[in-house]
Amino acid sequence: MGNPKLLLKMKNILLKNGHVVDPLNNVDFVSDLLIIDGRIKSLSKNVKPEYENLEVVDVSGKFVVPGLIDCHVHLREPGYEEKETIETGSRSAAMGGFTTVVCEPNTNPPIDSVAAVEDHVRRVGEKGLINIYTKVCITKGSKGEVITDMEKFGCYRSVVAFSDDGNPVLRKEVMVRALHTAAMSNKPVSPHCEDSGFYSVKDVTEEELGFSPSKKFWNEANFVKRDINCAGSIGCHVHFSHLSLKESIDYISEKREQGNITCEATPHHLLLDGDYRDINGEIPVVNPPLRSQVDVQSIQKGLSDGIIDVIASDHAPHSLPDKKSGAPGIIGLETTLGLVLTELVRPGIITLRDAVLKMSTNPAKIFKISGGSLLPGMPADVTVIDMEREWVVDINSFESKSRNCPFQGWKLKGQAVMTIVSGNIVMREGKIVF
């Protein structure tokens, strides 16, 4: 949701000679981009700097794209501020080129009520540096039993989807009721189909699940199939978070014509398999876990074939003691773009246009967020990328409070050098300037 502080400080900016890439409007050429009063004014060559209080920025040789959107992040506030806060998380996002993020609701207390949503809106207004939306729990406390008052959230612009985050909705009949209710609110359900450590498939019967369970951490595709089949007759949009198995991708590919299915993958599931060791010789602990090389290749192919709609970080900050005790999750806001450009765009797995589509245009469309385009009249959320910028991942330089990153020491090529939110330059050349 737009930040009131940013809207009060909108500036006039002219970005000169940048290579503009906007998949929604089929733009891929060198142009000037004029921002007036926090909105895109024009996109054309040789724009004259005739406006008052206009900052002219030469971005020759750089790429100008719609502001990046990460639709799967954990900002931990309220309740876990020792791991991350809205302020540090939004600074981290801006450093990574993200103008907009969507928070998961697994805070403490969880975001499962109108009061919690309004508290989140207040906190974002006080502390956020970027546009911040949220998902609301599918069930009370994400416990899988009683669905939340979904119909009440239809009028909240800050609420863009429903999710129980790391907990799959175990009981089929609960998911069916949730899909019916979410369809009336015109907001997608975003299930997490991994097996959570909080739940075990032995807690419910096969009939209640709606499928015959496999061993723990191997039920992702079972949940995907069940939820797709349930949504088909209801018409609710289902967006699957961080898919990790070939079987999941294959089934979604078969059912795409159903029309109400989208999905995402993370950089770590796109790039790392279960044999990977980080700089300390440790296997990254994530949920869903890192899979086989066959699964990694399938996810990459799903990305290039257009089966996977979105790349999302699943930015999951943890304290060092929590990671040592086995907490799953890694941070990703400051590395996602660099990893995508270096490991997916440069090798030709996807194009830069594809990357922008999956990191801006598509998430804006799926979650009905204002953004994802540089069309005149749109809010001036813009990311400027230097494709030639070489850098080394250094967790000690991150704006995030946490350091749980498996890419420490990786050499990357390509980085955001400017993040503009509502016409405000929030990050410039690796420094927060707002």
How far apart are the C-alpha atoms of 93 and 98, rounded to whole Å?
5
Same domain, 70 and 51: no
Nearest to residue 128, comparing CAs of 99, 87, 165? Answer: 87
Whether 355 is in a domain gets the answer: yes
Question: Residue 105 contacts by C-beta under 8 Å, 6 or more apart in sequence?
Answer: 111, 112, 116, 134, 135, 136, 137, 142, 163, 165
382, 371 in Cβ contact below 8 A? no
Whether 72 is in a domain gets the answer: yes
pLDDT-flagged residues of the chain (< 50): none
Out of 314, 354, 381, 386, the active site residue is: 314
In a 10 Å sphere around its CB, with 0-12 CB exposed, 13-18 middle and 19+ buried, how is residue 388 labelled? exposed
| Long-range residue pairs from 252-257, CB within 8 A, at least 24 positions apart, any chain | 252/224, 252/228, 252/302, 252/307, 253/302, 253/305, 253/307, 255/228, 256/307
How far apart are the C-alpha atoms of 168 and 200, rounded to whole Å?
10
Whether 362 is in a domain gets the answer: yes
Whether 73 is in a domain gets the answer: yes
If one counts the domains in the chain, the total is: 2
Same domain, 95 and 32: no
Same domain, 333 and 403: no
Domain boundary, last residue among 337, 366, 395 = 366
Tell me how far the alpha carbon of residue 382 is from its chain's centroid: 16
Same domain, 98 and 144: yes
Q: What is the CATH number of the domain that holds 338?
A: 3.20.20.140
Query: What is each CA distance from 340 to 31, 95, 312, 326, in whole angstroms?
Result: 24, 15, 11, 27
The whole-number pLDDT of residue 389 equals 98
Q: What is the CATH number of the domain that holds 386?
A: 2.30.40.10
Nearest to residue 270, comparing CAs of 250, 241, 242? Answer: 242
Same domain, 235 and 321: yes
How far apart are the C-alpha atoms of 299 and 247, rounded to whole Å?
10
The whole-number pLDDT of residue 51 equals 84
Q: Please confirm, yes or no, whether 314 is among the known catalytic residues.
A: yes
Strands 238-240 and 159-162: unpaired
Question: Residue 54 contacts by C-beta under 8 Å, 6 or more apart in sequence?
Answer: 12, 13, 14
Same domain, 52 and 106: no
Whether 372 is in a domain gets the answer: no
Whether 128 is in a domain gets the answer: yes
How far apart are the C-alpha atoms of 211 and 207, rounded to whole Å?
7
Whether 373 is in a domain gets the answer: no
Same domain, 127 and 256: yes
Domain boundary, last residue among 309, 333, 366 = 366
Domain that holds residue 404: 4-64+379-432
Whether 95 is in a domain gets the answer: yes
Question: Residue 155 contacts by C-beta under 8 Å, 6 or more apart in sequence?
Answer: none
Same domain, 413 and 266: no
Domain boundary, last residue among 310, 334, 366 = 366
Give the number of other Cβ atoms within 10 Å of residue 377's Cβ. 8
Same domain, 270 and 324: yes
Query: What sign for the dihedral angle of Cα 354, 358, 360, 364?
Result: positive
The whole-number pLDDT of residue 10 equals 67
In a 10 Å sphere around its CB, with 0-12 CB exposed, 13-18 middle and 19+ buried, how is residue 294 labelled? exposed
The whole-number pLDDT of residue 227 equals 97
Same domain, 330 and 413: no
Same domain, 240 and 114: yes
The structure tokens listed for 397 are 């330089």
Same domain, 60 and 113: no
pLDDT in tens, 144-202: 999 999 999 988 999 999 999 988 999 999 999 999 999 999 999 999 998 876 666 66
The structure tokens listed for 271 are 């790039």
The whole-number pLDDT of residue 5 equals 58
Give the number of other Cβ atoms within 10 Å of residue 237's Cβ. 22
Nearest to residue 356, comparing CAs of 297, 416, 315? Answer: 416
